Amino acid sequence: MTKRRQMRFTIIRSLVAILIALLVATILIFISAAGATFQDKLEATREALKQMLAGPLFRFSKKSGTAFEAKRLADILAAMIPTIFTGLSVCVMFSANQFNLGAEGGIMLGAFITAMAAIYMPLFAGLHPLVAVLLGGAVVAVVMLLPALLKTKLNVSEMVCSLMLNYIIMYVIKFLMNTYLADKSRGQIMSYAFRETANIPPIINNSVFSGAKLTWGFVIAILAVILCGLFMYRSRWGYAIRMIGINQDFAKYSGMKVGGVIVLSQLLGGFLAGAGGGIEMLGRYTNFSWSALPGYGWTGITIAILAGNNPYMVPLAAFFMAYLSKGCDLMATYAKVPAQLIDIVQGVIFLFFAAEQFLSGYRQKLVVKSAQEEIEMAKAQKEGI
Amino acid sequence: MPDGKTLSAEEFVVQMKGITKVYPNGVAANQGVDFNLRRGEIHALMGENGAGKSTLMKMLFGLEQPTSGEIIVNGEKLELTSPSVAIAHGIGMVHQHFMLVPSLSVAENMVLGMVPRKSGIFIDRAKAIEITREYSEKFNLKVEPEAKVVDIPVGMKQKVEILKALVRGARILIMDEPTAVLTSQETAELFVELKNLKNQGYTIVFISHKLNEIMEITDRLTIMRNGRSMGVYNTCDVTKEDISRLMVGRDVVLSVQKDKAVPGDTVLKIRDLEYVNEWHKKMLDKVSFDVRKGEILGIAGVEGNGQKELVDMLFNFNVPNSGTVTVNGVNILGMPQRKIRELGVSLVPEDRMLYGIAAGASIEENVISDRASEKHLNNGPLFNMKAIHEEADRLIKEYTVLCKSRSQHVGMLSGGNIQKVVVAREFSNDPVLILADQPTRGIDVGATEFIRKKLVELSRSGIAVLLVSADLNEVMELSDSLIVMHNGQIAAYFEDTAGLTDEIMGEYMLGLKKQTEEEVRRACHD
C-alpha cells in the first residue's frame, strides 16, 4: 500500500472511531439527561451536545447570540501544554515497541523536581526556569533507566515495572511533602511559593486573555514537537528507535545497538515527560500542591495512540483531547450532564483505536487494490521492454 | 496389493485426485498431484523441502483448500474446509512442532476441546485421566497422565500427540517428520508403536527424508519433486539409490554464465566447529573449511543437517561449543553483528521476513539499515536526506526493485522484490564476504536469475561467497567448489563442480556415501 493510501486509511479510521464514540456518548447523555418527558430529554440532550461540541469555542447567550470566545480557545491551548509533552514522551517510548507507562509518574516527578529547583535555587530570571525544567527532565530520564535497564538486561516487563514506578514516585513525593517540604503555615499540604524568577510568563498579557494561562510553555511544546519529529524521522537515532519498534530482529541483524537504543528511547521519553511537568508547574502554579498523579500521562498514552506514534500528529490529538475535555466540563456546567462522561467517551475512542482489526475489511480492500495496481504496473513494464 | 490385481475404489481410504494448489502469492505448490492411501498401510511421502509434501498434507487435514482437484475419503467426496471437518472424518495429524499446552497435564491436553464434565460444570479430571489411561493401554503408547507436558521428554510428547488424534477418532494419521526431534532409541520405540497401530488397521502417512527409516517401516511410498508426484512405489521394489535419484533431481537448468574462478587468499576460515543443540543433538560435528577471495563455495544438503546452525554461528545468532571462525584473521565468534559487518561480512538471511526486512518500514528505510550511521548519509545530527534518497533510488534502479516509489512499504512488495531489497543492501556495502543463505527460495524466476547473476558477478570481482542452498540447481550451477553436509558433518567436498551429477550429490546428501577424512580435509586450504 502506498503511503498516501495508508494515510487515508488512518484518517478515515480515526474519524469513524470518533464518530462512533460520539454516538455512544449521545446515547449516554440522553439516558442521563434531566427531563420528565421524551421531548424534554431530547431538548436537554441537544443542549448538552451543543455545549460539548461547540461550547469550547463559542459562547451561547440569549441576549447577544452566539459569539466566538477567544478565552476558551486559550484555555484549550493551555491545557494542551502538559499533554503534548506526555504525548511526545509516549510516542518516543512506544516507537521502540516499549510499552512504558511511566509518563504519568514522570510528569509528576518532573513537576516536583522543577518546583523544588524553583523554590530552593537562587538564580536570575530567564535562566531559572530553564535550569529548573531541564533538571526536572534530567531526573526523570535517570529514573526511567530503571525500567529500561531491567528490560534490556533482565527482560523484566517494562509495562509492569513502569506502572508500579508511577505509584512509587507518587508516594515518595507525598512522603517528602508531608514530612519535610510542606509550608506548615498553610491549611493544606503545599510547598513554599516559587521564586518569582522561576515563573514562565504568559504569551500575551492583554484583556482578551485575562484569566487564561496560555504561557510561553505552549511555544516550547510546539518546538518540542518539531524537535521530536526531526529526531524520529530525520536522525539516525530516531530511525534506529523506529526500526527496532518495527522489527527488533531485523535491527539487530542490521548491526544496530538494540539494547542501547531501547534505553535511549526510555531516557528521552522520561526527559520529555519530566520537562513537561516542569513547564506546567512553572507556568500555571505558584507552589507545588499535587497530591496525586495528575492524569496527564494516561492522556498522553491516548494521544500517542491517536497520533499513531507520529510526533507531528501529537498537537492535533492533544487539541482533540483538550477540546473534548473542555466540552464535557461545559456540558457539566451548563447542561447538567455528569463530567465523568468524558472518561466514557475517551474509553470508547481508545477501544476502537486499540482494536487493530477495526475496519480491517476496508484496509484489506485497499491492500488488494494496491496489489492489483502493482501487478498491472509489472505487466506494463514487461510490455514496455 | 500382494496378488497384483487392480484396486477398486473401496480399497483406498483416501484418494486425492489431480490436486493443484496455487497460493495467493502465485506459488504453485502442487500441480496435478495424485495421492492415495490403502487401509492399514504405512505410506511414506518423500521429497525435498519445498517439494510440496506439507502443502498436500495440509489439504488433507483441512488446513488449506486445493485450487482444483478432489479429495475422496472412504468413498465420499469431501470439502475439507477446516481441521475439525477432517477430524470428523477420521483424519488426524501429528505436527512436527507439537501443538500441546505445556502448563497443562498430559490428561488435560488429551481432552482439550472435548472436556468431560462433572454435573455439566466442573472439569472431570479423574475421567480425563481414565480416558488417557485407557487409550494409552489400548495402543500401547506409554504416557504419564498426570505429568505436566512441560516436564515430559520429547518422545512422550509425541505419544501424547498421537493419542490426542486417536482419542478424537482418527483412523488415518498424518505424521510430519516424526523422527526429526527424536533420539535413535525413541525412534525405535516409535516404530514399534506405529507397526502396532498398523496391525490394528490404522493408516499412517509418514513424511520424512530419512532413507533408512523409510525402508524399515513403510509399505509404499510416494515421491514428490517440485510440486509434482514422481510416482508411487512399493517400498520392497525400490532401492535407496532409486529413491535418491527420484527425489533429488533437476528439472530445469537455468544456466548462468560464469568464468573459471581464480581463488585468492582465504577470507573465511572455519576450524573444527562443534555444536550440540538444546535437545542434545549434535548439529555440527568437526566442520572445517575455507572460503577464498573470488570463489563461490556452495553448501548443499537436505535441510536440517546443520546448515542453519552453521550460518547462525557465522553471524552471531548462536555460539558453538568449540571451534574457531575467523574473517581475514579476526575471530568473529560472539562478536556483535555491528562489528561483524564492519569487517565486511554481509548476510542474505534464510528467513527474510524475520531478519532481512522491517516489513512496516519503507524501501528506503530498509536499504540503509546497515549504514544509517555512516558519515555520507548524515549532516551533523540529522540525516542527509538528499544523499539517502539518492542512495535508495540508485539501489532500486540497480537492483530493478519493482515499486511505486522509495517510500513504499517493503511488506507490500512481492517476495522476489522483497529479496531484491535485501540483496541490494547486502551486496552494496563493499563486502569482503557474502553469506547467502537460501538466497532465491520461493521467489520468481526473474528475481532468481537476477540474484544468481549478481552473486557470480560479485565473486568474480574478488569477493568471497558462501552459498548455502537446499536448491540443488542453484548450488551446482553457481558454486566453484562444493560441500555436502549430512548429519552435521561434511560428507563430501568437491573442488570442482564440473562433472558432478545429481546421482552423486543425492547419495552424499542422503547419507548413502561419505568421503574419507583426507578427502574432506581438502576443503581447508592451509
Q: pLDDT tens across B1-17, in order? A: 344 344 454 578 999 99
Asked if A364 reaches chain B (Cβ–Cβ under 8 Å), the answer is no
Predicted confidence at residue B512, as pLDDT, reads: 86
Quote the CA–CA distance of B405 and A340 in Å, as a whole number: 47
Residues B258 and B232 in one domain: no
Q: Tens digit of pLDDT for each residue in B482-524?
A: 999 998 999 999 998 888 888 888 889 888 889 999 999 999 9
Of B358, B385, B405, the CB nearest to A250: B358
Task: Answer whether residue B118 is part of any domain.
Answer: yes
In this structure, are residues B117 and B152 in contact, taking their beta carbons and an 8 Å threshold?
A: no
Same domain, B260 and B300: yes
| Shortest alpha-carbon distance between residue B407 and chain A (Å) | 7
A228 chain-B contacts, CB cut-off 8 A: none
Tens-place pLDDT, residues B466-476: 999 888 878 98
- Using a CB-CB cut-off of 8 Å, the residues of chain A touching B402 are 374, 377-378, 381
Q: Over range B277-303, report the average pLDDT.
A: 90
Across the interface, whether the CB atoms of A250 and B355 are under 8 A apart is answered yes
The answer to whether the Cβ–Cβ distance between B361 and A256 falls below 8 Å is: no
Are A11 and A21 a contacting pair, CB within 8 Å? no
Are B347 and A253 a contacting pair at CB < 8 A?
Answer: yes
Contacts of A377 in chain B (CB under 8 A): 402, 404
Q: Please check whether residues B80 and B223 belong to one and the same domain.
A: yes
DSSP tag of A110: H
Cα(first)–Cα(last) distance of chain B, in Å? 58
Residue B360 in contact with partner chain A when CB distance is under 8 A: yes
pLDDT at B442 over 80: no
In this predicted structure, the answer to whether residue A146 has a pLDDT above a threshold of 90 is yes
Contact with chain B for residue A3, Cβ under 8 A: yes
Chain A contact set for B350 (CB, 8 A): none
Give the residue from A228, A241, A249, A254 with the most B CB atoms within 10 Å of its CB, the best one to mutate.
A254
Q: How many structural domains comprise chain B? A: 4
How far is B440 from B455, CA to CA, in rounded Å?
11
Q: Using a CB-CB distance cutoff of 8 angstroms, which residues of chain B are in contact with residue A1?
A: 409, 412
CA–CA dist A76, B425 (Å, integer): 48
Integer CA distances (angstroms), B159 to B90, B109, B443, in order? 18, 12, 37
Q: What is the spatial distance between Cα B514 and Cα B493, in angstroms, rounded to a whole number?
A: 10
| B514 reaches A (C-beta below 8 A) | no
Are the Cβ atoms of B402 and A254 closer than 8 angstroms?
A: no
Say which DSSP state B362 is in.
B
Contact B337 A3 (CB under 8 A): no
**Same domain membership, residue B208 and residue B105:** no
Q: What's the whole-number mean pLDDT along residues B241-262?
A: 73
Which residue among B337, B360, B414 places its CB closest to the CB of A246?
B360
What's the rounded Cα separation, in Å, for the pair B297 and B72? 47
Q: How far is CA B29 from the centre of its chain?
A: 14
The ipTM estimated for the assembled molecules is 0.82
- Higher model confidence: residue A27 or residue A222? A222
Domain residues for the domain of B392 are: 358-429
CA distance A1 to chain B (A): 6
Query: Within this chain, do residues B183 and B311 fall inside the same structural domain, yes or no?
Result: no
In a domain, B383, yes or no: yes
Partner A contacted by B88 (CB < 8 A): no
B349 within domain boundaries: no
> Is the Cβ pair A249, B404 closer than 8 Å?
no
Instruction: List, as ranges, residues 189-248 from A with C-beta within 8 Å of B.
Output: 230, 234-236, 239-240, 242-243, 246-247
Of B224, B247, B270, the position where a domain reaches its end is B247
A384 vs B contacts (CB less than 8 Å): none
The distance of A372 to chain B (nearest Cα, Å) reads 11
The answer to whether residue A266 scores a pLDDT higher than 60 is yes
Regarding predicted confidence, which is higher, A355 or A61?
Answer: A61
Q: Do B189 and B330 fall within a single domain?
A: no
Lowest mean pLDDT among A221-225, A252-256, A367-371: A367-371
Which residues in chain A touch residue B408, judged by CB atoms under 8 angstroms apart?
2-3
Q: Do B494 and B387 have their domain in common?
A: no
Return the minimum-mean-pLDDT range out of A76-90, A294-308, A350-364, B441-455: A350-364
Residue closest to A296 by CA, chosen among A320, A321, A271: A321
Amino acid at A26: T
Distance, in angstroms, between B9 CA and closest chain A CA? 42
Q: Å from B357 to nearest chain A CA? A: 6
B314 and B377 both lie in a single domain: no
B517 contacts: CB under 8 Å, gap ≥ 6: none
Question: Average pLDDT, stretch A329-349?
Answer: 74
Residues B284, B419, single domain; the answer is: no
Pairing of strands B345-348, B91-94: unpaired
**In this predicted model, what pLDDT tens digit does every residue of B322-331 receive, in sequence order?**
999 999 999 9
Q: B439 and B522 in one domain?
A: yes
| One domain for residues B138 and B190 | no
Tell whether B192 and B339 lie within a shared domain. no
Last residue of a domain, one of B378, B407, B429: B429
Report yes or no on B4 lying in a domain.
no
Q: Between chains, do A239 and B405 touch, taking CB under 8 Å as contact?
A: no
**Which residue among A6, A250, A381 sits closest to B369, beta carbon to beta carbon?**
A250
Start-to-end CA span in chain A (Å): 25
Cβ contact B408–A2 (<8 Å):
yes
Q: Residues of B numbered 387-416 whose beta carbons fall under 8 angstroms of chain A's beta carbons: which are they?
A: 402, 404-405, 407-409, 412-414
Nearest to B341 among A243, A255, A257 (CB): A255
Cα separation, B304 vs B188, in Å, equals 20
A9 touches chain B (CB under 8 A): no
**Facing residue for A253 by CB, picked from B342, B355, B365:** B355
Query: Chain B residues with CB inside 8 Å of A240's CB?
Result: 372
pLDDT score for A164: 95
Q: B152 or B384: whose pLDDT is higher?
A: B384
Task: Please give, rounded to a whole number of angstroms, the shortest distance from the CA of A184 to a CA of chain B.
Answer: 49
Exposure string for A271-293, b = 16+ CB within 10 A, e = fewer: bbbbbbbbbbbbbbbbbbebeeb
Per-residue pLDDT tens over the stretch B383-430: 999 999 999 999 999 999 988 889 888 887 877 889 999 999 999 999
Residue B101 lies in a domain: yes
CA distance linking residue B101 with residue B187, whole number of Å: 23
Least CB–CB distance from B357: residue in A234, A250, A378: A250
* Whether B92 contacts chain A with CB within 8 A: no
Q: Answer yes or no: is B271 within a domain.
A: yes
Give the other-Cβ count within 10 Å of B419's Cβ.
28
In order, the DSSP letters of B96-158 are SS----TTSBHHHHHTTTS--EETTTEE-HHHHHHHHHHHHHHTT----TTSBGGGS-HHHHH
Which DSSP state fits B177? S
**pLDDT at residue A22 tops 90:** no
Q: Which CATH number covers residue B69?
A: 3.40.50.300
User: Does residue B251 carry a pLDDT above 60?
Assistant: no
| Predicted local distance difference test score (pLDDT) of residue A385 | 47
- Beta strand B382-383 with B42-46 is unpaired
Smallest Cα distance from B182 to chain A, Å: 29
Residues of B in contact with A235 (CB under 8 A): 381-383
Query: Are the beta carbons of A324 and A83 closer than 8 angstroms?
Result: no
- Cβ-in-10-Å burial (0-12, 13-18, 19+) of B457 comes to middle
Question: Of residues A165 and B261, which shows the higher confidence score?
Answer: A165
Nearest CB to A254 within list B370, B383, B414: B370
Q: How many residue pairs bridge chain A and chain B with CB atoms within 8 Å of each other?
A: 90
Q: Is the pLDDT of residue A306 over 50?
A: yes
Using an 8 Å CB-CB cutoff, list chain A residues near B365: 239, 242-243
What's the half-sphere exposure (Cβ side, CA atoms, 13 Å) at A98?
40
* Distance in Å, alpha carbon of B269 to nearest chain A alpha carbon: 21
Nearest to A249 among B336, B354, B378 (CB): B354
Residue B138 placed within a domain:
yes
Taking an 8 Å cut-off on Cβ atoms, the answer to whether B382 and A234 are in contact is yes
Whole-number average pLDDT of chain A? 86
Mapping DSSP to helix (H, G, I), strand (E, B) and coil, where does residue B367 land?
Answer: helix
**Residue A299, Cβ neighbours under 10 Å: how many?**
25
- Encode pLDDT of A86-117 as tens digits: 999 999 999 999 999 999 999 999 999 999 99
Residue B351 lies in a domain: no
**Closest-approach residue (CA) in chain B for A3:** B408
- Chain A residues closer than 8 Å to B349 by CB: 253
Minimum-distance CB partner of A239 among B315, B357, B365: B365
CA–CA min distance B356, chain A (Å): 6
- List the single residue in A230, A253, A254 with the smallest CB-CB distance to B382: A230
Q: Look up residue B378 and give its amino acid.
A: N
Q: Inform me whether the pLDDT recorded for A281 exceeds 50.
A: yes
Q: What are phi and psi of B79, to 5 degrees?
A: -105, 100
Name the residue facing A1 among B369, B372, B409 (closest C-beta).
Answer: B409
User: B123 has which bridge partners?
Assistant: B117
Residue where one domain finishes, among candidates B208, B226, B247: B247
**Is the per-residue pLDDT at A73 higher than 70?**
yes
Please give, rounded to a whole number of angstroms, the shortest distance from the CA of B196 to a CA of chain A: 45
